[in-house]
């Protein structure tokens, strides 16, 4: 069995064939990509997330036998092979609603999305014009923490978070893992060669009492390795 998807370069990528059904029967929810927080009809607050890592994970989980729901922010990527349901959203609030609906009864939630931390307090229904008195100050309010909300559910799925950092990766990853009470956290150092927007990635996995580094590889290869690790810890927890 094999499958493929768009790697963001318009090239069809063949999967590595990891179809050993390590997640057979599991319901998995993946969120991916950025969120856009509209300021007015032509401007928004956003980030550089391409969604490539999340889409690769959704594909890898599907090929591993899972029933996958993908909640996607605004990205230009084709739906991965075998994904059961894709829900497209734009804002953090829309992503929150879609994720909380999708995780009902789910076994695993993999939170790869780069959800905006803030949104504007007041959306302008008309384009904000330049004034003679300089730039207009925008009042921002915090968006909900989707990952923390899912981790606090009872019952809750096995929760995997992601953290993109520019420094002190291990230290900050450990703190996030413990603070949000996650089952696993995937962290990576962002630079011009790996991480956001790039085709390759290099990550380090953290879980209570352990960690493992995965060296630089394509995002599809990293996704296959991550899904295998997630499946192992999920199954071990079920039989603990």
Residues recognised as catalytic: 47
For the chain, give the DSSP string.
Answer: ---EEE-SSS-EEEP----S-TTTT-EEEEEESB--EEEETTEEE-----SHHHHHHHHHHHHTT-EEEEEE-S---PPPTT-SEEEE--SHHHHHHHHHHHTTT-SEEEE--B--SEEESS--SSPPPP-TT-PPPPPEEEPP-HHHHHHT-SS--EEEEEEEESS-HHHHHHHHHHHTT-SEEEEEE--SSSSTT-SEEEEEEEETTEEEEEEEEEHHHHHHHHHHHHHHHHHHHHT-
């Amino acid at each position: 069995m094999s499958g493929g998807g768009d790697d963001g370069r318009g090239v069809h990528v063949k999967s590595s064939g990891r179809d050993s059904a390590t997640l057979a029967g599991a319901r998995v929810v993946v969120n991916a990509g950025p969120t856009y927080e509209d300021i007015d009809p032509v401007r928004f607050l956003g980030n550089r997330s391409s969604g490539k890592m999340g889409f690769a994970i959704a594909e890898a989980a599907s090929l591993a036998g899972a029933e996958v729901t993908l909640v996607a922010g605004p990205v230009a990527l084709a739906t991965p092979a075998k994904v059961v349901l894709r829900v497209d959203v734009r804002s953090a609030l829309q992503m929150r609603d879609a994720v909380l609906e999708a995780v009902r009864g789910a076994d695993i939630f993999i939170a790869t999305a780069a959800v905006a931390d803030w949104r504007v307090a007041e959306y302008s229904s008309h384009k904000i014009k330049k004034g003679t008195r300089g730039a207009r100050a925008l009042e921002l309010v915090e968006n909900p923490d989707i990952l923390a909300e899912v981790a606090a559910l009872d019952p809750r799925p096995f929760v995997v978070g992601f953290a993109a950092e520019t420094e002190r990766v291990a230290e900050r990853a450990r703190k996030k893992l413990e603070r949000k009470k996650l089952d696993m956290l995937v962290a990576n150092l962002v630079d011009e060669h790996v991480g956001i927007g790039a085709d390759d990635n290099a990550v380090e996995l953290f879980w209570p009492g352990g960690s493992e580094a995965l060296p630089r590889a394509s995002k599809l290869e990293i996704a296959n390795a991550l899904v295998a690790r997630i499946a192992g810890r999920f199954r071990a927890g079920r039989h603990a």
